[in-house]
Amino acid sequence: MTDNEIVKALKYCKEHKGMCTDDCIYRAVYRGGCLPMLQKDVINLINRQKAEIEKYKSGMIANAEVVKTLTNELKTAKSEAIKEFAERLKERYEKHILCSTNILNNEIDNLVKEMTEVER
């Protein structure tokens, strides 16, 4: 039986208070003794659905871990890019501004620190 047929048979059985009629799908297939087969199929259906739910849950947990890892990697890459930018900027300005290089370097370092601090 398909899942839909099992659900339909269960509803039919409930509506007819377990009294089999000729319209019952299970009675036609199992010729009496259909209630134990219906119960078995319902339990199997529930177990299959529970297993599928667990599979999706574990997939969601794994996906959340991937997102967390990628987010951390992105933060690290951003910080490294900002630091590299600051170093290149310092190198270029050292050639042009000899007197105030230390002041500029301190300002750049402060800005990099401000931009790369871990958000809290």
Q: What is the pLDDT of residues 36-83, one digit of tens each?
A: 888 899 999 999 999 999 988 888 888 888 899 999 999 899 888 888
For the chain, the domain total comes to 1
* Residue 119: DSSP 8-state: P
Q: How confident is the model at residue 119 (pLDDT cuts 50, 70, 90)?
A: low
Stretch 3-22: mean pLDDT: 84
Give this prediction's pTM: 0.54
Phi, psi torsion values for 117, nearest 5 degrees: -65, 145
List the alpha helices (DSSP H) in 24-33: 25-30
The domain in which residue 50 lies consists of 3-116
Helix (H) or strand (E) holding 40: helix 34-96
Q: Give the angle 91-96-98 at the CA atoms, nearest 5°.
A: 90
CA dist 101 and 70 (Å) reads 37
Closest by Cα among 116, 113, 46, 29 to 79: 116
pLDDT at position 32: 64
